[in-house]
Amino acid sequence: MAKPRVFLSSTYYDMRTVHNDLERFIREQGYEPVLFERGHVPYGAEEKLEDDCYREITNCDILINILGGKFGTESKDTQHSVSQKELLAALKLGKQIYIFVEKRVLAEHETYRANKKVEGFTPIAVNDVRVYEFLEEIYALPGKNPISPFETSEEITRFLKEQWAGLFQMLLQEHARQKEVNVLEKMEASAATLNQLVKFLTEERTKGDQAIRDILLSNHPLFNAIRTTMAIPYRVFFETLSEMEKLLEARQTTLVEQAPWDDPIYREYLSNWPKAKKVLKIKADLFAEDGNLRIIRADEWDDKNVILEDVTQPLSPEEESTADDLPF
């Protein structure tokens, strides 16, 4: 299982005890400490060692930077130490950063700010005024870069324990809210679809009502009524009386002459299957005078628009032997 990698950045000789305590604390939390002095930073033959440290920060999740009274090893740019450049590299990469400064250094930093323009000012808590110049640089950075004072490593570990517990609690809350986020994303997707539909219908309305008529026609309740009544296993669609009657003919069901119709409001169609002759009655006014199917909404539909009646007569032995299967 992957573990958070924690990079420890500081001058070494004056912070050996703090380094050892923090390394032990990080391991106790189940995380992986990365310390240069332990050989945790792989280095190449061509680049400078400090470049290897900066590159290793890319593979870490957290950087702990500890500033004491020593400036430390000077980096290539001579303005910063290597540990200071490590902090700047982590800031540039957007890593989670914790900065700890010795209390005596922070206390004298206020004196430095008041006297930094005074010629001959000599700091006591640090061995190089560039330590204070770097603190000024950190304070001037945008975003949240809190600096925590410390005297003992115990103060650092206590602070980190509280901070990491807070991060874990935030992670749990975000995980719990993920369902809400998923619901909102689905709602946004549905809203976008509805907006597109409204836009489409609005644009089509400028051309007339044809778009709405096409939608209503494709969902005409007569299609489902015929499909269900005749047990047709595929989708039914037609636009005119002629197209419907061709469909019925394909199902061995043909129009009955108008004279024997039981009721003139129904058009009657007779099945040609001897074992089960049935009459299919369809309301004539479902079609306009020109033969086009009238538009009807589902809530306007009456089940009496389509009726199926059984008119089967007893078959002779000869008819029984030659009869085909039932059409519906």
The pLDDT-based confidence of 208 (bands split at 50, 70, 90) is low
Q: Above 50 in pLDDT, residue 36?
A: yes
Identify the pLDDT of residue 43.
Answer: 52
The pLDDT-based confidence of 83 (bands split at 50, 70, 90) is confident
The answer on 202 and 163 residing in a single domain is no
The answer on 217 and 108 residing in a single domain is no
Residue written as token pair 């700010």 = 113
- Length of the chain in terms of residues written: 328
Identify the pLDDT of residue 139.
Answer: 86
pTM: 0.53
Residue 47 inside a domain? The answer is yes
Residue 311 inside a domain? The answer is yes
Greatest CA separation for the chain: 131
DSSP letters spanning 238-258: -SBHHHHHHHHHHTTEEEPPS
Q: Which one has a higher pLDDT value, 225 or 262?
A: 225
Residue 328 inside a domain? The answer is no
Q: Which one has a higher pLDDT value, 208 or 245?
A: 245
Q: pLDDT tens digit string along 229-265? A: 888 888 899 999 999 999 999 888 899 887 777 788 9
Identify the pLDDT of residue 155.
Answer: 95
Q: How many domains does the chain have?
A: 3
Q: Which one has a higher pLDDT value, 327 or 246?
A: 246
Identify the pLDDT of residue 47.
Answer: 53
Rounded to 5 degrees, what are φ and ψ at 297? -80, 160
Identify the pLDDT of residue 218.
Answer: 84
The answer on 252 and 122 residing in a single domain is no
The answer on 155 and 13 residing in a single domain is yes
Residue 18 inside a domain? The answer is yes
Identify the pLDDT of residue 207.
Answer: 58
Residue 327 inside a domain? The answer is no
| Mean predicted confidence (pLDDT) in 82-92 | 89
Identify the pLDDT of residue 25.
Answer: 95
Amino acid symbol at 227: R
The answer on 293 and 250 residing in a single domain is yes
Residue 299 inside a domain? The answer is yes
Cβ proximity of 292 and 286 under 8 Å: no
d(CA 104, CA 32): 30
The answer on 83 and 195 residing in a single domain is no
Rounded to 5 degrees, what are φ and ψ at 236? -110, 135
The answer on 201 and 187 residing in a single domain is yes
Q: Which one has a higher pLDDT value, 142 or 163?
A: 163
Q: Above 90 in pLDDT, residue 141?
A: no
Identify the pLDDT of residue 117.
Answer: 83
The answer on 67 and 39 residing in a single domain is yes
Can you tell me whether residue 81 is helix, strand or coil?
Answer: strand
Q: Name every residue whose Cβ is closer than 8 Å to that of residue 286 and which is 6 or more positions away in sequence.
A: 222, 293, 294, 296, 305
- The CATH number for 170's domain is 3.40.50.450
Q: Above 80 in pLDDT, residue 50?
A: no
The answer on 166 and 185 residing in a single domain is no
The pLDDT-based confidence of 326 (bands split at 50, 70, 90) is very low
The answer on 139 and 101 residing in a single domain is yes
Domain that holds residue 317: 212-322
Q: pLDDT tens digit string along 267-314? A: 999 887 656 688 899 999 999 999 999 988 888 899 999 999 887 655
Residue 143 inside a domain? The answer is yes
The answer on 50 and 144 residing in a single domain is yes
The answer on 184 and 167 residing in a single domain is no
Identify the pLDDT of residue 257.
Answer: 84
Identify the pLDDT of residue 144.
Answer: 65
Q: Above 70 in pLDDT, residue 328?
A: no
Q: Above 50 in pLDDT, residue 210?
A: yes
Residue 194 inside a domain? The answer is yes
